Amino acid sequence: MLSPDKSKILIIRLSSLGDALLTTPVIRSLKNKYPEKEFYFLVEDKFADAVRYNPNLTEVVTYDKSDSGKNQLEKIKSISADFVIDLQNNIRSKNIVKCLKVPSLKFIKPTIEKFFLVKFKINFYKKILSIPEMYASALGKEFSLDQNGLDFYYEDGKKAVNASAKDEKKIAFCPGSQHFTKQYPAEYFIKLGKKLTDDGYEITLLGGKSDREICAEISSAIRGSKDKSNDNNLFELAREMSRSGAVVCNDSGLMHLAAAVGTPVAAIFGSTVKEFGFFPYKAKSIVIENENLSCRPCSHIGKSKCKEGHFKCMLDLTPEIVYEKLNKLLENKND
């Protein structure tokens, strides 16, 4: 664990959006335990907004993935960190730790468990832990997380929370995903949106730059819906989520953003499973998944196509099933 003489702590989590947000319970709990220490956070520039205004951090240092040269290393060294917590634990982060030449702790990934679950469908996970809990384990048995969820802060330093004046009749859809096998089909989102519209709900489409096309496609097919996708303005997406009564999304970074702002989340899992730890953390939520497939999970991050050719992990989760699950979430949102 951290020594009393270590005052400047560098936390490394280079990617991605969801992973950066999932570090926030660790950051907060560390600052609460060691208020006198300074905490710095190293993250890829395109994900920096996830923690940019977090008051528990002294500084957010951006990492340019295209530049692994001397200038970038000098920028990192200029922090003068005397301890490193490596929550990435890959080749890039290991090289940074090696160059800094200071004591460090690292996140031990459940690589063997993931391998056997994906390749042979043998489950060696003793229990299902969230990613924040896995991160916290890197800091020793004497370190524990508090009971709060994820943090996200706006440009003015105010914490993003579910607005008291939110519109209960507004449902936000986040249909995008980097990987095909983690993306609920657009035609299913459309059918779900039409059912909700018939019930008097208003549908809002949310996503970043890579999601603009699918958001436009879905929005154009749902009467009265609004396409509020943008070019990766995370703060505007968070505001839209906080005004919504619920968010329907894939296993994605925006799922974690919805959890961070306190909006109920209906998360649709295709090729991935909860054992990997990337479910909504301490949020009012429901994970909707097909638990009757012998081919699932086929990947811990997602694939570009279904290797079995049937894509039943998503196609069997009909709009009617998601509609029913979402209604149960909405009915119990105050529990």
When pLDDT is averaged across residues 268-291 and rounded to a whole number, the result is 97
Pairwise CA distance, residues 123 & 150, whole Å: 28
CB-based contact 310:304 (threshold 8 Å): no
Average pLDDT over residues 240-264: 96
Q: Where are the domains of the chain?
A: 8-137, 167-331
* Residues making up the chain, counted from first to last: 335
For the ranges 80-94, 152-166, 178-192, 242-256, the lowest mean pLDDT is seen at 152-166
In the predicted model, what is the mean pLDDT of residues 136-140?
94
Residue 166 pLDDT level (bands cut at 50, 70, 90) = confident
d(CA 307, CA 251): 19
Going across the sheet that includes 83-86, the strands are 59-63, 38-44, 8-12, 83-86, 104-106
pLDDT in tens, 178-190: 999 999 999 999 9
Report domain 8-137's class.
alpha beta
The mean pLDDT value of the chain amounts to 95
Cβ 152 vs Cβ 235: under 8 Å: no
Average pLDDT over residues 308-335: 92
Q: How far apart are CA 82 and CA 8, in angstroms?
A: 6
pLDDT digits (tens, 9 = 90+) for 315-324: 999 999 999 9
- What is the percent of the chain where pLDDT is above 70? 97
Which pLDDT score is estimated for 335?
A: 53
Contacts for 184-187 with beta carbons within 8 Å, 24 or more apart?
184/250, 184/268, 184/270, 184/314, 184/317, 184/322, 185/314, 185/315, 186/214, 186/217, 186/218
Alpha carbon of 26 to those of 118, 280, 306: distances in Å? 28, 16, 35
- Look at residue 334 and tell me whether its pLDDT is greater than 60: no
Q: Using a cut of 0.85, tell me whether the model's pTM lies above it.
A: yes
Q: What pLDDT shows up at residue 71?
A: 84
What is 167-331's CATH superfamily? Glycogen Phosphorylase B; (3.40.50.2000)
The Cβ-side half-sphere exposure at 263, using a 13 Å CA radius, reads 35
Residue 68: its pLDDT value, please?
66
Dist CA 278 CA 276 (whole Å): 6
